[in-house]
Amino acid sequence: MITANSTASPWLEKLSVRYAASGFSGLLLFACFPIVNWNILVWVACVPLLVALIVEKRWLRAFWLGYLAGAVFLSGSCYWFVSVMQGYGNLNPVVAAGVLILFVIVFSTFYGVFGLIETAVARRSIFAALILGPFLWVAMELARTYLITGFPWNLLGYAVRPVGLQQVASVTAVYGLSFLAVITSALVTWALVERGRKVSLVALAAWTAILLAGNWLLEPPPQQPEPNVALLVQPNIPLGEAAMDSWAPWTNPGPVESLVSDSVEAARVSGATSAALPLIVWPETSAPFLYGRDPVFRGAIESMAKRVNAYVISGTVTFGGKGSSQPENAAVLLGPGGDLLLHYVKIHLVPFGEYVPWWAFPGKVGKITAEVGDFLPGKAVEVARTPEGVIGIFICYEAIFPQLVRKFAAGGAGVLVNISDDGWYGDSSAPFQHFEMARFRAIENGRFVLRGTNNGITAIIDPYGRVQKEIPRNQYGILTGHFRYLTKKTFYTENGDVFAWFCVAVAAGMVLVLLMPGFRRAAG
């Protein structure tokens, strides 16, 4: 059993060392993800923080230790906020940096709460605090998913890269991989701070063997030929008002007609017109594609669907609300006869992109989009049932929410289509991080994900999260590949966040029991 007098304690007596350890954990967490992408660090990233927390004596100081780790991590992960708000929100550098600072101040609180609870439990039992760690971490990630508008960006499990272990997400969602990573950090911490290290080292070695065996046992089967054809168009439309003016179909139909012509030719060359009906995907873009108000654009994609005898998906802006005056970020799905099969309106909007959160001084801080007023969110998850199979579409930022995308598969979707415009992120790490999160939605739901983006990363992802084909960023192209409509549902699709809520329950139960007045700290 670990005690407060363990061998690691003396050099951690200095508060400055504990704060340095906390900040170092934040750096390690940041380095797990693109662009640094040293994902092997995911297994030890929490170790410095855990060591600092289990020897800390003051609860409030523990909060700030956790808070510091979160602030460093979130600042590094989301540094691109500044360039996005400056470049597209027309904010000066100081105000743009202020948006990032405000975000970090708010969301680092979850890490602070983690630190406070870990230290509070460690005062009773350090061993129990290390057991609590992975359950509490998942509970905080679930809170970050649902609370304060929700921003589950770069949850720790996304950095777990062994393909076999990633399949755990089909049961637990990404939270299960976060759990595995924090267990590993807790065992390493035990080995570092325990005086007699034999038991802890044996436990760490056994756990490592379990991870290796699990990765081998869960290795996905070889890829098989698939019957359905997808054509994902990456138009690489530049951002900005000048580009919007030049791409407006009602004044300049040339660019849209060129996209139609290239899409039709790509379908012909692929042989898709002689096989099962193909699926053509045009992404979310900054171009003014207004399906409901622009007969030129509507006529172009309806004609394309008829000429190729294909299903066509396109991002568009529609209008709803009182007097149809509020913009909606939407997607339309047309059948091979040009008829509208699905009009899906994005449910989970982007803070600072499509609206300003209540806690971020609405009216003082602007959005990065050009439309007047906040976007109107959609109200329901909808899928389109076709003779080929059932299609579900989710838009851009919605890809980072496991519980939302799950609803499409639970509603019967046999293939998931993600349309996005990651051009707003520029040449930052954000597009690569966004792609990794979208890739996990395939694993969680056992579905092909067809990801069509304006400027990358456009890709076909199989149900095990393997990228079959992709187009590099910032290039024009049409990606032709194969997929299959699937019907078998994973445990996660059927049951949702059972595992994550189980972690919440275990964490809450442990905290209640361990902090009861009658409980005495273990001393053996």
What's the rounded Cα separation, in Å, for the pair 477 and 280? 13
DSSP 318-373: EEETGGG-EEEEEEEEE-TTS-EEEEEE-SSPPBTTTB--TTS-BTTB--SS-SSS
Q: What DSSP character marks residue 8?
A: T
Q: CB of 320 within 8 A of CB of 378?
A: no
What's the rounded Cα separation, in Å, for the pair 140 and 145? 9
Strand, coil or helix: what is 515? coil
Return the closest-CA partner of residue 413 out of 443, 389, 442: 389
> Which residues are catalytically annotated?
284, 346, 396
Q: Any residues with CB less than 8 A from the CB of 241 and at least 6 apart, and which?
A: 370
Joined together, the tokens standing for residue 191 give 């080995």
Q: What is the pLDDT of residue 491?
A: 98
Number of H helices, E strands in the chain: 18, 12
DSSP 385-430: E-SS-EEEEEEGGGGG-HHHHHHHHHTT-SEEEEEE-GGGGTTSSH
**Stretch (H or E) spanning 281:** strand 279-281
pLDDT (tens, 9 = 90+) of the chain, 524 residues, equals: 444 445 556 777 888 899 999 999 999 999 999 989 999 999 999 999 999 999 999 999 999 999 999 999 999 999 998 888 777 666 778 888 888 998 999 999 999 999 999 999 999 999 999 999 999 999 999 999 999 888 999 999 999 999 999 999 999 999 999 999 999 999 999 998 876 678 889 999 999 999 999 999 999 999 999 999 999 999 999 887 777 788 999 999 999 999 999 999 999 888 765 568 999 999 999 888 999 999 999 999 999 999 999 999 999 999 988 888 789 999 999 999 999 999 999 998 887 666 676 655 555 555 444 444 478 899 999 999 999 999 999 999 999 999 999 999 999 999 999 999 998 888 889 999 999 999 999 999 999 999 999 998 999 999 999 999 999 999 999 999 999 999 999 999 999 999 999 999 999 999 999 887 755 544 33
Q: What is the pLDDT of residue 291?
A: 93
Return the closest-CA partner of residue 260 out of 316, 329, 306: 306
* pTM of the predicted model as reported, rounded to 2 decimal places: 0.92
**Apex CA 451: angle with CA 284 and CA 249, to 5°?**
25
What's the rounded Cα separation, in Å, for the pair 315 and 299? 15
CA distances (Å), origin 254, targets 216, 259, 296, 406: 52, 9, 11, 38
Return the closest-CA partner of residue 34 out of 401, 457, 447: 457
Q: Is 452 left (phi over 0), alpha (psi -120 to 50) or beta?
A: beta
Q: What is the pLDDT of residue 509?
A: 96
